[in-house]
Amino acid sequence: MILEPGTGFTFDPPGVAGSGFNIFWDGNRLTGSDATRFAEPAEAARSGDVGVAPGEGYVLNVIAPRVGTVLHVRVPGVSGLGAYTIWVPPGQDLGNEPGPLIFDWKPAVLAPAESDSLPEAFEEISFVNRIFEGGTDVAATNAAVTIAILLLLLAGASVFNEALEENVRGLGVQGVALPGPFDSARRVLASIWHAIAGFWAAIIPGATFLDRALGPAALLLGTGFIYSLLEPGFGANEQSFTLFVGLVVSQGVLVLFYEGGKAWLYRRNLRVDAGLRLFPACIIIALVSVLISRMAGFQPGFVIGFVAAAIIVGKPDFSEDERGRAWALIAAAMLGVSVLAWIAAIPLHELYKANPNVWTGLPEAVAISIFVVCLEGLLF
């Protein structure tokens, strides 16, 4: 088949076309129309070397063909997307000057897509080594926007917390009478809360090490399972398993190092008795968060809630400056853990790519989850 510059080609029915074509040749490049996309070219000196077409990776809309290569293309067809293989034989000049394109083609034989053990929630997370892929200008713009958003979030959270502490907690308000329907809803929620608290007391009766370990484990497993429901394809599959394990481990790291670190600093630097308190209500918070995300049709992502928090036992005897310095230390340490997990995800991703399966995907899933969850825990 020969395509002159300025002409197009359709695969079904096959032939040169001036309009309604699938691919267009301008003398130097092939351009796909509508949803037509090319995969990366592969070397093929002979027509028998074309091999099978990849099952995925069709992301290029424009491509400059080279002699002795094979191009795989997917085009919109009557029954979905059709795949075709284009072979560009040697012996033609595809230099800088526009000229005709000589090629052969046939319906492609698609290779089965590689199984992906990583969930959709990880697809939009870029690795640190990809920051400059779009150029220094793009990287600088993204960094400036990110810093500005972080500063706004931190400033807004600080103002909100300060206003809440000064104007609400100091009022000593014990309760507010609600209208009938709202009061009924409150009573229902209160009864649910008492049922959960009673169940919690029943399954964790004592104060032994096993009792103290059972509570956090139950909350981590429960909230990890509920937040995993945000994955559109959640079920008995590898993606759901890696997401669940990643969420459970990352929330455990957040509770242990951030909240546990605050309790340790309270005791060490501020000289007050402090510890961790579990919040069984996190189960309800998780259910409501997932329900809202599902109803609103949000894209899959990470949604987390607190499982435990550091509390001060007794009357605090320290200044706000001392507490602020203690918080700054643990926040800096937690930020370091998050960034280290982000960096560690790079070699772990290469490990997964070399042999993609659920067990090589788990370390990457855990590292990415720690990065995102710990960062969200610091900001929110």
pLDDT at 312: 63
Alpha carbon 72 to chain centroid distance? Answer: 29
pLDDT at 168: 47
Q: What are the residue boundaries of the structural domains of the chain, listed by start?
A: 2-107, 120-154+193-379
Phi, psi of 87 (to 5 degrees): -110, 125
pLDDT at 113: 54
pLDDT at 234: 75
pLDDT at 173: 43
pTM of the model: 0.55
Distance, in Å, from the CA atom of 349 to the CA atom of 365, rounded to the nearest integer, reads 9
Beta carbons within 8 Å of 228's beta carbon, 6+ residues apart: 234, 240, 243, 244, 247
Beta carbons within 8 Å of 128's beta carbon, 6+ residues apart: 342, 343, 346
**Other CB atoms closer than 10 Å to residue 10's CB: what's the count?**
16
Give the tokens for residue 276: 């961790």
Alpha carbon 165 to chain centroid distance? Answer: 34
The pairs formed by 233-241 with CB atoms below 8 angstroms and a separation of 24 or more are: 233/119, 233/120, 238/115, 238/116, 238/117, 238/357, 238/358, 238/361, 239/116, 239/117, 239/118, 239/119, 239/120, 240/119, 241/117, 241/358
**Would you give per-residue pLDDT tens digits along the chain (380 residues)?**
888 888 999 888 888 887 888 899 988 889 988 788 888 888 887 777 777 888 777 888 888 888 888 888 988 764 556 888 888 898 888 877 788 899 998 888 776 655 566 776 676 666 666 666 556 777 778 778 877 877 776 666 666 656 655 554 444 444 445 555 666 776 777 787 677 666 555 555 455 555 556 667 777 787 778 777 777 677 788 878 888 888 888 888 877 777 777 777 777 777 777 666 666 666 777 777 777 776 766 655 555 555 656 566 666 666 777 777 777 787 788 888 888 888 888 888 888 878 878 888 888 888 888 888 777 777 66
CA distance readout (Å), 192 to 180, 189, 280, 283, 302: 18, 5, 12, 11, 26
